[in-house]
Every structure is written in structure tokens, then in C-alpha cells.
Amino acid sequence: GESVGLHLPTLSVQEGDNSIINCAYSNSASDYFIWYKQESGKGPQFIIDIRSNMDKRQGQRVTVLLNKTVKHLSLQIAATQPGDSAVYFCAENGGSQGNLIFGKGTKLSVKP
Amino acid sequence: KAGVTQTPRYLIKTRGQQVTLSCSPISGHRSVSWYQQTPGQGLQFLFEYFSETQRNKGNFPGRFSGRQFSNSRSEMNVSTLELGDSALYLCASSLDGWNTGELFFGEGSRLTVL
């Protein structure tokens, strides 16, 4: 059930370290952004979202930062665990068909 | 409650054939979206159905079609299959659409075209 893995940027971190995953979004008109996590053999799973009237939002062990000036989004994971190993996607609501646009994804690999 | 269910999970077809994939959304969800996922293109939007009507459509050829039933279950069909249609097809459901609530994805149907 693997879905991605080829040609993906990869971030390798040690268990317990903090991880930062970056995303450049495409449409300056986008005003809603979401981070998804996709484990091998599974569909994407919602992690956290943020609207353009905010520049930071925190969840449990995760923080999303939004910089509208440079169209940049980041996901910070604190105290990364082996279970965090997955592909992470950002998404924006700037699709011309009223759809979400997904980034290509970043593979996070956590070393025990 | 049960999550989004997609069937079949895996299938192999040959060029020129057609395929139908099924998606059962979370109970109470009225919006069903379909995405194609490939290593080269990532996640690409196919279409969205809401209350049995196609509400949005992505940039895919007419060989890709879908429908939604009164119980919100959805099917997508790909006719005259091409090698490039090999992909993971993901279905996502939400209460009223992605912009009003969280999208819940199924595990996907892995299509291989030979």
C-alpha cells in the first residue's frame, strides 16, 4: 500500500530531537493551510491547520508557522518519536477548481 | 465510528480495460472527494461530490468519472485504462466539504495497469 517514496525530500532525525518540515505554497490567495501525515500503506491523516489571519498555531507536540510574505509554511514536531516516521504533506486551499492543493511531501525518518 | 472504506484495496488491469472503485464515507458525511496519488505528481484532485452532485472537478480527462449515491457512497470509474493511470486512488470524506471541516482519507485503492 505504499504511495510515495520515490524522489521525495527526506529528513532524518534522532529520536527525541525536534523536527522541522518546510513547505512553500503556490497561491498567494490561499488563506487556509493544513498539514497531513501519511504512514506507509495508509491514507493521509490530518495533523493541524492554520488560517491566514494567524502566523502560529500549536497542537500537541506540533506547531505550524505561516509566513505569508514568502509563502512559506513549516511544521515543527517536538521530541520526535519513531511513530512520527511518515510522509508529511502541506495543503493549501488555492485550487482553481475549489480544491485543496497538496505539496509533494517530505519523508521523515526517525532513528531510534 | 467506522472510517472511510475503499474497495478494492489492490487491483491489476490491462490497458484498454475499465475499472470501478468504491468509497464508503464516514456515516453522516455528505462530501466525498477523490484524489490520485503518484510518486511523480503527488496528490492530485479528481473531483468532489456533495449530495449526489459533482461540486468540483479537477483537470483530468473525461475517462475519469464518478458518482455519488443517496447514501453518500461514491464510485469512480476510469475507462480505457492507460499505463499512466497506475496510482493510488484515495477517497476522502467530510461533513460538508474540506473547507468546513476535516478531511478523512481512506487507505486507498492501488491500481496497477499492465
B interface with A, Cβ–Cβ below 8 Å: 4, 9-10, 33, 35, 37, 39-40, 42-45, 48, 55-59, 88, 90, 92, 98-99, 102-108, 110
pLDDT in the model for residue A17: 97
**Percentage of the residues of chain B whose pLDDT score is greater than 90:** 86
Between A3, A97, A105, which is nearest B88 by CB? A3
* Position A4 pLDDT exceeds 80: no
Contact B9, A63 (CB under 8 A): no
- Residue A67 burial by Cβ neighbours in a 10 Å radius (0-12, 13-18, 19+): exposed
| Arithmetic mean of pLDDT, B78-103 | 90
pLDDT in the model for residue A7: 63
Angle at A59 between CA A55 and CA A65, to 5 degrees: 25
pLDDT in the model for residue B14: 98
State whether residue A6 is helix, strand or coil: coil
- A9-31 tens-digit pLDDT: 999 999 999 999 999 998 888 88
Residue B100's pLDDT band, with cuts at 50, 70 and 90, is low
Residue A3's pLDDT band, with cuts at 50, 70 and 90, is very low
